[in-house]
Amino acid sequence: MRLLHVIRGTDPETGGPIEALIRISEVLMRDGHEVEVVSLEEAEDARRRNFPFPITGLGEGVGRYHYNARLKPWLRERANNFDAVVLHGLWNYSSMGAWRALRRHATPYFIFTHGMMDPWFRERYPLKHLAKQMFWLLGEGLVLRDANAVLFTCEEERLRSRNAFWGFDYRERVALLGTADPRGDAEMEKAAFSEAYPQLHGRKFLLFLSRIHPKKGCDLLVEAFGALAKELPDHLDLVMAGPDALGWIPELEKTAKTLGMAHRIHWVGMLKGALKWGALRSAEALILPSHQENFGIVVAEAMACSTPVLISNKVNIWREVEASEAGLAENDDAEGTRSLIRRFCALGAEERARMKTSARAGFLKYFDIENTAQEFARAIGFSE
């Protein structure tokens, strides 16, 4: 069967949606399905991606909404070539343009909202939410109403998305995301990371691996690490890994310096390939105190590496993490973030060893792409 994904952009630095699309597609293609992607990015940018499926870039479009008049006719001309279309995300023209092309078409379409209906956005940006409500009534809600199903990446996302906007009903379906089991040589990857960052040689560390962004709770983490300076083991550092599109790091570094912990917080930029896996395998734990995290692919990746995870209860897979005893979850505030670090540091050697074993078992149970891709295939009618 043939599947088309419609997405705003395919830059890996944008985070989870494209990563999930890649991993699902790898399994579906291995099982004999065909996958293509159309995006609202420049054709040259699309061609540069080293992905296992073809990408058609139709151009960035106009304005922040990325309106692109080419999308609707492109889809109408080719929709019959596909057995299903999956849209990714809201609040940009990729979803609305696809709806305009497919709403009266025989080819079914589905949409992943990717956490974009989470109530955190309403609470953080109330005026912007009012504007979104109007836009919902004018069109965005119709995209969900007419979809064969609205796909949520976990049960928590489905529940949190309810009643985010009023005006249209839609069909809900949970299709768990996941990630591939890492196949690299663990010792070689750890050695590569150690060689790249010799300042961490002989040091243990907690790892933050995500975008440096206010939504991710980076300020909470730096402040909590500094506040616990007298309680932390002398050999425990904090590694902050991820792209800084907002230029926020200098301010966070200033905070760390004020707290007297700048020498124990390491800013290593975005990690890829062996360096990323080496960091995940080397860390004592992954820590992610996000205010809103739809799924958190990196959490599943850490668990695959038998690395415990310390997360806020706004990371939507926190229930699965707690159920598998793969880590700890707390509120996304200063006290909650301090509690994550304090509770983990208080664990004995045997308890940490059990948590590492449980993390791996939890990954296999909930997040192994071999299983979740099949769930996704069933959700869109590609499997019985």
Specify whether 173 is located in the same domain as 213: no
Instruction: Output the CA–CA distances (angstroms, integers) from residue 89 to 8, 57, 93, 165, 279, in the order listed.
Output: 8, 17, 10, 15, 30
Specify whether 160 is located in the same domain as 199: no
Specify whether 160 is located in the same domain as 204: no
Specify whether 10 is located in the same domain as 151: yes
The answer to whether position 195 is within a domain reads yes
Specify whether 156 is located in the same domain as 246: no
pLDDT on residue 15: 64
Specify whether 201 is located in the same domain as 157: no
Report the CATH number that the domain containing residue 332 is assigned in CATH: 3.40.50.2000
The answer to whether position 384 is within a domain reads no
Residue 333 is part of which domain span? 186-367
Specify whether 77 is located in the same domain as 131: yes
The answer to whether position 216 is within a domain reads yes
Q: How many CB atoms lie within 10 A of CB 195?
A: 11
| Residue closest to 241 by CA, chosen among 273, 212, 209 | 209
pLDDT on residue 16: 65
pLDDT tens for each residue of the chain, 384 residues long: 999 999 999 998 776 678 878 888 999 999 999 999 999 999 999 999 989 999 999 999 999 999 999 999 999 999 999 999 999 999 999 999 999 999 999 999 999 999 999 998 999 899 999 999 999 999 999 999 999 999 999 999 999 999 899 999 999 999 988 888 999 999 999 999 999 999 998 899 999 999 999 999 999 999 999 999 889 999 999 999 999 989 999 999 999 999 999 999 999 999 999 999 999 999 999 999 999 998 889 999 999 999 999 999 999 999 999 999 999 999 999 999 999 999 999 999 999 999 999 999 999 999 999 999 988 999 998 876
The answer to whether position 311 is within a domain reads yes
Specify whether 20 is located in the same domain as 81: yes
What is the pTM for the complete model shown? 0.87
pLDDT on residue 50: 87
| Residue closest to 274 by CA, chosen among 202, 210, 204, 196 | 196
Opening angle at CA 76, ends 72 and 82, nearest 5: 120
Specify whether 217 is located in the same domain as 92: no
Opening angle at CA 52, ends 48 and 58, nearest 5: 50
Residues 366 and 143: their CA atoms lie apart, in Å, by: 29
Specify whether 96 is located in the same domain as 237: no
Q: How many domains does the chain have?
A: 2
Specify whether 32 is located in the same domain as 87: yes
The answer to whether position 254 is within a domain reads yes
pLDDT on residue 282: 98
The answer to whether position 70 is within a domain reads yes
The answer to whether position 282 is within a domain reads yes
The answer to whether position 256 is within a domain reads yes
Specify whether 148 is located in the same domain as 217: no
pLDDT on residue 384: 60
